[in-house]
Chain A
Amino acid sequence: MSTRATPSRAAKTRVSVVVPVKDGARYLEELLAALAREAVDELLIIDSGSRDGSRDLARRAGVDLLEIPASEFGHGRTRNLGAERTSGELICFLTQDATPCTGWLQAYREAFELAANVGAAYGPHLPRADSSPMIARELSEFFAGFTPNGAPVVQGPDDASFLSNVNACYARACWEEIRFRDLDYSEDQAFGADMLAAGWLKVYHPGAGVLHAHDYPPFEFMRRYFDEYRGLREASGHVEPFGLRSSTRQVRAEVAADRGWMAERGMSGPARARWTVRAAAHHGGRRVFSALGSRSERIPGSIRGRLSLEQRTAAGEPRTTAPGAAGAVAAGGGSPIVPSRPVEAKLSGEVYDVIASRWRDGPASLLDPVPGMSERDHLRLAMVIPPFNRGSGGHNTLFQIFSRLERRGHACSAWLADYQSQARAIWPAVLRQEVREYFAEYEGPVYKGFEAWQGADVVIATGWQTVHALLGLDHCRTRAYVVNDHEPEFFSSSAEQVFAADTYRYGMHCIAASPWLRDLLIARYGATAEAFQLGVDHDTYRPRPVAREPATVIYYARHTTPRRAVPVGLMALAELKRRRPEVRIVLFGSDHVLDASFPYEHLSVLGPEQLSWLYSQATVGLCLSLTNFSLMPKEMLACGLPCVELAGVSAESIFGPDGPLALAPLDPQRLADALERLLDDRSEWERRSRAGIEFVASHTWDHATDEVEAGLRHALAMREAAISAQP
């Protein structure tokens, strides 16, 4: 709709002008003079850290000056502040480089008389004399498009929501209802959309013009477009379309229009040629940077910062909670609460969701085993595993055993439970290859997830993360739990600790990786349990034909595994180094070079072959575990290397209190004593070295497989017995 203004009360309306300024001295004097000429009722300059004399200019002009720290500036936030600090019924916002033309204020007063509920008005941005032809043409054509006949236009909800705080005026009542959102950019566009949605009208008045142009070098222009379209995406969700051919066509059309505009104004040939090149770069860059800006959430933060003129790294994802007509609590209007962000439900299938459903629904029912099944030669075995990495000791144990069970004729399949998407990017065939490469020559399939679940005679849990999922699997005769360690101890007081402990309470028969662990599961959780001994690959771990060094201590310093008590190990080695400065200390098992109070040599993560040579050359090994005993001391012993471990945890249950392994309490002095004794006392060293080789000779993976297989059969037998005991 278009109409002519009929001023009546317009002249009485009190008008405040708010101008946010930062280093705006270039045009500020001209702006202040224009506002004085227009006779505004109130003027507030908000300076956010100018260093170019802008504040002095404002003070000299005698206008109200509000100084805020640069860190507190926000396009929406600061304008809300300006509106709060002024009192006019109309509030005009200008940028520091927008100079009102004659009649500007009167035009705004007229605009608010055009209809009853006009909430905002805006006027054209006119090119300055030195503006580039591209900008001058664009501004002229853009604003001419709002009013074909040159008259003021009232715009409603069916019109574009365009509004620009370069030059805009608001009815205080409208601002109080809508307020500017606390956006990094395009707070005016957001206001335009919000006010129209709330039933207010806005007016474009061609008489309320300002001289305004952003003269940036070409690349800065592009970066500005990046910021503008990112802001537009944040405010309205707009994504600028981009296609190579369509963009090329558009750029060509824009350049042709610029050339026509220059010709109309009688620009010389060489000047036209020069500006044509600039125009091509300008429009081409604009197409690319506006498309990038509206997709900024897909660009890495570091690159985003470089593409932005404001060097802002935040992504431009649309805000889904628009403070609308009803008013928002968090749009920079004084509330300390930032806008809330709705989050879609994503939890389906995730580990906590699986636990919740198991707690709610209980385990799936089991099939009855056929009598005598536990004695049958071959069984259908399905092993559920958590995600893994190269070097995972637990997975190595599992697949050493599982591959042997497979070779004994059992039908074996492995299933990855990956509820936290750790192996998201790894597809099943790759998982299988990794199992074979990292752990053992397993021939069966590896499934990811349970969509193809087929049932099993025994389904085997292998870690706390696998249990709740496994309990939901149907068509199983029984469930068993191969327990490598007491996993609740991996966590401090936490939900994970509770979940891990919960896994031992579902009546699954546990097959534990040491007598200590077996006894703990029985005593603490009332589980049925038996133990198996971890095996050693004797083909790899054997004394190598190499001279043993006289005073070398090697330490498995895997600091990323807290149960390894690495700080205590380092304290013990520091004490040893203090007592015996000549001792050579080598740390291995971690890629990270640790800081220590003594000099040492670093070896990162080594493969089995390298480890066996290291164990064959060193004098003493140190390997600590605060929970269940690990394979590493056994492998050291198999290479003839005496080793110091922690006393009072799990090692005694395997080696006895004074077996081949030297045990010491969790005390740096006592650990250093044990290490020193093995360095000094040749006869003890030889006794432990010999005893170690003899002791672990029978600890093979075949033997471990016998024990685990017996455990699986026990699980079936217990189930058979339970069924036959039913009335």
Chain B
Amino acid sequence: MSDAAGIEQDRSSLEAENEQLRARIAALESELVEVQSRANAAVAAWQERAYWLDRLHIDLNSLMRKRGANQARVTLKGVRAAVWAAQRLWRRLRRP
């Protein structure tokens, strides 16, 4: 094989490698956009859910750090469980 043919082969192989790398970069860039889109959607969904908390200026993390907050939560949970149990019992008693 002549030198010229060898150089031509090397050039072709480099160009092919470049193309592969370009394609890989393009794929990675597309992935980045995709990941960014998903992150945006996740944050937007969180903002959708947090609307009333933000509207009422409630930071639940700081609220729950206050003294007695967890006890209040447990108490409410207990009350709710009791109400639900009473409702179930009432429904059962009323069943024909």
A residues touching B (Cβ–Cβ < 8 Å)? Answer: 370-373, 376-380, 409-413, 425, 427-430, 432-433, 443-447, 454
Contacts and interface: CB of A to CB of B under 8 A. Distances in A.
Chain A binding surface SS class: loop
Contacts of A454: 36, 39
B54 A443 contact: no
A433 B51 contact: yes
A427 B32 contact: no
Interface of B: 22, 25-26, 29-30, 32-34, 36-37, 39-41, 43-44, 47-48, 50-51, 53-55, 57
Given A427-B55, A429-B53, A430-B54, A376 B44 contact: no
Given A411-B37, A427-B55, A432 B30 contact: no
Contact of A429 (B30, B34, B48): B48
A423 to B, nearest CB: 12
14 contacts: A376-B30, A376-B33, A380-B32, A409-B37, A411-B36, A412-B40, A427-B55, A429-B51, A429-B54, A430-B54, A430-B55, A433-B55, A444-B40, A445-B44
Interface centre among B32, B34, B47, B55 (most CB of A within 10 A): B47
A380 B33 contact: yes
A429 B47 contact: yes
B25 A413 contact: no
Interface centre among A411, A412, A425, A447 (most CB of B within 10 A): A411
A370 B25 contact: yes
A378 B33 contact: yes
A373 B28 CA distance: 12
A379 B30 CA distance: 8
A411 B41 CA distance: 9
A430 B41 CA distance: 16
A373 B26 CA distance: 8
Contacts of A409: 37
Interface centre among A373, A377, A445 (most CB of B within 10 A): A445
Given A370-B29, A376-B29, A378-B30, A432 B47 contact: yes
B55 A429 contact: yes
B65 to A, nearest CB: 18
A447 B48 CA distance: 13
B55 A413 contact: no
A447 B30 CA distance: 23
Nearest to A446: B47
Contacts of B30: 376-378
A454 B38 CA distance: 13
A376 B34 CA distance: 13
Contacts of A372: 22, 26
A428 B59 CA distance: 12
B18 to A, nearest CB: 11
Interface centre among B43, B53, B55 (most CB of A within 10 A): B43
A636 to B, nearest CB: 35
Given A427-B55, A429-B48, A429-B51, A373 B29 contact: yes
A410 to B, nearest CB: 8
Contact of B54 (A380, A428, A445, A447): A428
Contact of A380 (B22, B36, B48, B50): B36
Contacts of A447: 43
Contacts of A445: 40, 43-44, 47
Given A380-B32, A427-B57, A444 B51 contact: no
Contacts of A377: 30
B31 to A, nearest CB: 11
A444 B51 CA distance: 14
A64 B3 CA distance: 122
B39 to A, nearest CB: 7
A380 B36 CA distance: 7
Interface centre among B34, B36, B54 (most CB of A within 10 A): B36
A428 B36 CA distance: 19
A407 to B, nearest CB: 12
B34 to A, nearest CB: 8
Contacts of B32: 380
Contacts of B25: 370
A429 B39 CA distance: 16
Contacts of B22: 371-372
Contact of B47 (A371, A410, A428): A428
Contacts of B34: 411
B67 to A, nearest CB: 16
Contacts of B44: 432, 443-445
A443 B43 CA distance: 10
Contacts of B57: 425, 427
A413 B40 contact: yes
A526 to B, nearest CB: 32
Contacts of A443: 41, 44
Nearest to A457: B33
A550 to B, nearest CB: 48
A454 B39 CA distance: 10
A378 B37 CA distance: 10
A373 to B, nearest CB: 7
B40 to A, nearest CB: 5
A379 B33 contact: yes
B40 A430 contact: no
Contacts of A380: 32-33, 36
Nearest to A442: B44
A370 B22 CA distance: 9
A630 B39 CA distance: 35
Given A443-B44, A447-B43, 12 more contacts: A370-B26, A376-B30, A376-B33, A378-B30, A378-B33, A428-B47, A428-B54, A430-B51, A432-B47, A432-B48, A433-B55, A454-B39
Contacts of A370: 25-26, 29
A434 to B, nearest CB: 10
B17 to A, nearest CB: 16
A316 B64 CA distance: 35
Contacts of B33: 376, 378-380, 410-411
Contacts of A444: 40-41, 44
Interface centre among B40, B55, B57 (most CB of A within 10 A): B40
B72 to A, nearest CB: 21
A512 to B, nearest CB: 27
Contacts of B55: 427, 429-430, 433
A410 B30 CA distance: 11
B28 to A, nearest CB: 9
A409 B36 CA distance: 11
Nearest to B25: A370
Contacts of B51: 429-430, 432-433
Contacts of A410: 33
A428 B53 CA distance: 10
A447 B25 CA distance: 29
A371 B51 CA distance: 41
Contacts of A412: 40
Interface centre among A373, A376, A409, A430 (most CB of B within 10 A): A430
A378 B29 CA distance: 9
A509 to B, nearest CB: 21
A427 B51 CA distance: 9
Given A379-B33, A380-B33, A429-B48, A411 B54 contact: no
Contacts of B40: 411-413, 444-445
Contacts of B53: 429
Nearest to B40: A444
Contacts of A376: 26, 29-30, 33
